[in-house]
Amino acid sequence: MASGAAVSDRIRRLDHVAVATVDMEPAARLFVDVLGGRMLSGGDNDETGTRLMQIACGGFKVELMQPLRNGSTLARHLRKRGEGLHHLTYMVDDVPSTVSSLAELGYETVGTDASSANWAETFLSPRQSFGALIQFCATTLRFDVETEDYGVDDVLAGRVVWRDRVACLRTDAR
């Protein structure tokens, strides 16, 4: 078996587990109201048609995902696989080097994007990783600090939008 040291040396931490939902509100109420989680950030990614919410809960982060339109990748995923685990996200020191290290071990990454100064990512397909999408990210941004700019209800109502990986209140009418 090939050594994974080159990849494991790049991993800084397991950042979060993402859960795909048809409707995020019941899941948000479970993780926040019942389990005592704190919403860190969230908002709509209008480009991908996905609403996201990250919640710190029990010393770990859970990311909830909800499709905003039927044609989105997440909506197709939900039709095929149903609600539940969507992906694991590992923070790494450098995405291009991680892609190279994985390739040396025979793993083909998909969806690699290192075009943003704030965020770079790549994925291992669920076909290569036992049914769960694995995301590898490098970022200069912090996603572990609770926002004071908006709340759970603002995210659920679509009043928050992601702009270059930063969540902010919408300025456009919805």
Q: What is the pLDDT of residues 125-160, one digit of tens each?
A: 999 999 889 999 999 888 888 999 999 999 999 999
Q: In this predicted model, what pLDDT tens digit does every residue of 42-51 receive, in sequence order?
A: 999 999 999 9
Would you say residue 146 lies in a domain? Answer: yes
Report the distance separating Cα 60 and Cα 38, nearest Å: 11
Q: What is the count of structural domains for the chain?
A: 1
Name the residue range of residue 73's domain. Answer: 5-169
Distance, in Å, from the CA atom of 49 to the CA atom of 72, rounded to the nearest integer, reads 6
> Can you give the CATH number for the domain in which 55 is found?
3.10.180.10
Q: Is residue 174 part of a domain?
A: no
pTM: 0.90
Q: What is the mean pLDDT of residues 16-36?
A: 97
Q: Is position 23 within any domain? A: yes
Query: What distance lies between CA 27 and its chain's CA centroid?
Result: 16
Contact (CB, 8 A) for 38 and 56: yes
Would you say residue 21 lies in a domain? yes
Higher pLDDT, 61 or 163: 61
